[in-house]
Amino acid sequence: MDARVPFCHTCGVIQPPRSIDHFACLGMTPTFEIDPQELERKYFAFQRTFHPDRFAAKSPKEKAISMQHATNLNQAYDVLNDTLSRAEYLLSMQNSEEDAPGCTTVNDPVLLIEAMELREELADASDAETVSGIIQRTQADIDECIEELKPEFADGHLEAAAHLTTRLKYLSKLMDEARQRQLQLIKSQ
């Protein structure tokens, strides 16, 4: 169990949240591989306990504190539920330096060229079919990238993990752009 004891053990009044990481906030251990259903189950269970709706009849102070808890839970769930942001967050937990990993400048020429090529291809695509081809391929790349990330995080190879996370970030961004492009093309038809 995590180190949160948010209620006074004699009178049961809610206490302010402590500064803990997002994993601890949701009672999870900090790992890259998580069971999404488990995450959701814990998120719901904690929200059931801390949501301001549970404190509507309490004092303004207690309401405000429960709001802080619920805000933290939403934030934690938001970060951990998405694979890319979970990877970035894990790296930032290990890394005390200022600049968040994944945002570091790309000095890998292979990655850079791959990203540029894919982007050009997307810019040249003029029909929905080509774009959906790009989307399928990018999705496969994303899945592969995530598979590669798993052992690196599990074995604590942070440098390799950071490298793959940067790639994942590029791929996700490309995916967003491709989806938007597809939408544009469908709407303009």
Contact positions vs another protein (CB under 8 A): 1, 3, 5-13, 15, 27, 42, 44-49, 51-53, 56-57, 59, 67, 70-71, 74-75, 77-78, 183
Q: What is the 3-state secondary structure (H, E, C) of 74-118?
A: HHHHHHHHCHHHHHHHHHHHHCCCCCCCCCCCCCCHHHHHHHHHH
Closest distance of CB 51 from another protein, Å? 6
* CB-based contact 150:165 (threshold 8 Å): no
Closest distance of CB 88 from another protein, Å? 16
Q: Which is nearer to another protein, 45 or 113 (CB)?
A: 45
CA angle 57, 68, 28 (to 5 degrees): 115
Closest distance of CB 33 from another protein, Å? 20
Q: Which is nearer to another protein, 76 or 164 (CB)?
A: 76
Closest distance of CB 4 from another protein, Å? 8
Q: Which is nearer to another protein, 5 or 116 (CB)?
A: 5
* CB-based contact 11:33 (threshold 8 Å): no
Q: Which is nearer to another protein, 146 or 158 (CB)?
A: 146
Q: Across the strands, what pairs with 7?
A: 14
* CB-based contact 87:153 (threshold 8 Å): yes
